[in-house]
Every structure is written in structure tokens, then in C-alpha cells.
A and B are shown apart, each in its own frame.
Chain A
Amino acid sequence: KAGVTQTPRYLIKTRGQQVTLSCSPISGHRSVSWYQQTPGQGLQFLFEYFSETQRNKGNFPGRFSGRQFSNSRSEMNVSTLELGDSALYLCASSEISGASTEAFFGQGTRLTVV
């Protein structure tokens, strides 16, 4: 089985622009979660999608949004980028929405905002 695939791996954007990151979960997995990792704040939960519905949301401004498609692929969008949005964005997929299932992480997308 292929693992979790995140594209692109690296991205450089200018302040004020918007960006879309993509995550393809493991085949058969229906839950996708997104995390932001920065040196200052560590790993922080952004949101979780299950069967195209947002189930959980972290404490991030409305500039951060996401969606999930019928094939379970997910995208997250960040609008009006700020320098502080520079981070590694990690996607994790699980079979179902529940802590008894293991979350498999992708390699992440490294976003740099200049």
C-alpha cells in the first residue's frame, strides 16, 4: 500500500498570497487530519475531515481552511499568508475517525513565506 502523499514537498510564497496544499491518504482511509509544525509552537492540530465533513478544528484563524473530496483526498488552504505561517504542514490519515486507529503521517509540505 502506498503511504500518505503530500504535495508539493516544498513551497515558497510571498506574504499576502494564498496557498493550497494537497494530501492523498492511504487507500481505504477516510479520516484526514492536518497539523502545523513550527520551532516555536511545535505540533499543533489544524483540523480533521472524515467522509467530507470537518469533525474537529484547532485554534487557528479563519485564513486556514480545508476540505475533503469523495475519494478522501484532502486539501488545505491558507489565504493572505503571513510570515508566521512558515512551517511544516503534516497530513495524517486514519481508517476511521477514532483514536483506536493509528494515524499515518505524510512527509509534509515545507511552506516558506517571504
Chain B
Amino acid sequence: AQSVTQPDIHITVSEGASLELRCNYSYGATPYLFWYVQSPGQGLQLLLKYFSGDTLVQGIKGFEAEFKRSQSSFNLRKPSVHWSDAAEYFCAVVPGGGNKLTFGTGTQLKVEL
């Protein structure tokens, strides 16, 4: 069965600093990969997705992620973090076909002013 690992439970960065959130997946083939963000008391918003093609994908709010097949990773990055980016971030995978998302445990991002 596929699984997703987000090794960092909490991350604190200063506003304006760069950010990288790690995600590793375990799956026999290349799954479809997603990053979602959740603000307190809210649902999930899709930041970006990777299905195939260019391994560097751009998303909303200035986020990007890079798929590295050799490392089974799909890390999320942002060059300059804003205070409004404070939220919980989830990496998720779906095997080809279907809508069954398997989520990582999430990374809680705190932004210091």
C-alpha cells in the first residue's frame, strides 16, 4: 500500500526566509502527488499537483515543488515566506486512477515576525 511521510511535524521560520517542507512517498510506480494547505478551522486547499512531465511544478501563493523519482520525494518550497503562510501543510498521493487520497501526517508551519 502507498504511504506518505512528512518527517517534520513542526517548522518555524522567520517572515521573509525561505521554506522547504519535506515529503517522501512509498509506492511501486509514480503516483499522482499533491500538496494541500489547511488553515485553522478550514478545509483543505490545493497548492499544487504533479502527474507527469516537468518535475518542477508551480502552484498558487508562490509555492513550488520538485518531484525527484530517485529519492521518492516531492518537497514543497517557497523563496520568501509571508506571515499569512502559517498553516498546516499536507502532502498526499493517489495511485493512478480514483480519488482516494493518502495523506501524510502534516507539517505545522509557524511564521515569526
Q: Measuring CB to CB, which residues of chain A are less than 8 angstroms from any residue of chain B?
A: 4, 31, 33, 35, 42-45, 48, 55-56, 58, 90, 92, 94, 97-108
- Bound-state Cα–Cα, A76 to B103, Å: 21
| Chain B, residue nearest A103 (CB) | B99
Dominant secondary structure at the B interface = loop
User: B9-41 vs A: 1/0 string, CB under 8 Å?
Assistant: 000000000000000000000001000100001
Flag if A43 contacts B45 (CB, 8 Å). no
- Decide: A100 and B32 in contact? CB cutoff 8 A: yes
List the 3 closest A-B pairs by CB distance, nearest first.
A105-B43, A43-B103, A99-B94
Is there contact, CB below 8 Å, between A106 and B43?
yes
Q: How far is the CA of A24 from the CA of B49 in the complex (A)?
A: 24
The yes or no answer to B56 lying at the interface (CB within 8 A) is no
**Chain B interface (Cβ < 8 Å from any Cβ of A):** 32, 36, 41-46, 49, 51, 90, 92, 94-106
User: Do A105 and B44 touch across chains, with their CB atoms under 8 A apart?
Assistant: yes
Given A43-B90, A99-B96: 20 more A-B contacts, CB < 8 Å: A33-B101, A42-B104, A42-B106, A43-B101, A45-B101, A48-B98, A55-B98, A55-B99, A58-B100, A92-B44, A92-B99, A99-B51, A100-B51, A103-B46, A103-B101, A105-B43, A105-B44, A106-B43, A107-B42, A108-B42
B100 touches A108 (CB 8 A): no
